[in-house]
Amino acid sequence: MINLQQDSEGFIRMKRHFPATATVTVTFSDGSQEEFSGRRLNELYDDALAVFRAQNQLDAKGFSRGPQKKVQTSIEFVPVRPRMGQ
C-alpha cells in the first residue's frame, strides 16, 4: 500500500504513474484520509500535466516549438482534494 501526504497548498508529490491496480491512501492536510486507485491518480496526474503544458505553450509531447531554450517538460506536484477518488 502506498501512502501520500498532501501539502499545505493542496498538492501531493507524484513524479510518475502508479500501477493501475495499486491502492494509494492520501492523507489530507486536515488529517482525513481517502483511498485512491492507481488508475484514478494517474488520470489526475495526466490532467495536471496537460494543464501545465497548455499554460507553458508546449505541445502534447511536452516540446516547445518556439525558440530553443531549456524548458521544464514534466510536473512533480498534483492537486488533490477530498472526494476526488470516486
Predicted confidence band of residue 73 (pLDDT cuts 50, 70, 90): low
Q: What is the pLDDT of residue 83?
A: 81
How far apart, in Å, are the Cα atoms of 69 and each of 65, 72, 75, 76? 10, 10, 18, 21
Q: What is the pLDDT of residues 36-68, one digit of tens each?
A: 999 999 999 999 988 888 887 777 777 766 666
For residues 34 and 3, give the distance between their C-alpha atoms in angstroms, rounded to a whole number: 10
Q: What is the pLDDT of residue 62?
A: 74
Kindly tell me if the per-residue pLDDT of 33 is higher than 70. yes
Best CA proximity match to 1, nearest among 19, 16, 28: 19
What is the reported pTM? 0.76
Kindly tell me if the per-residue pLDDT of 72 is higher than 70. no
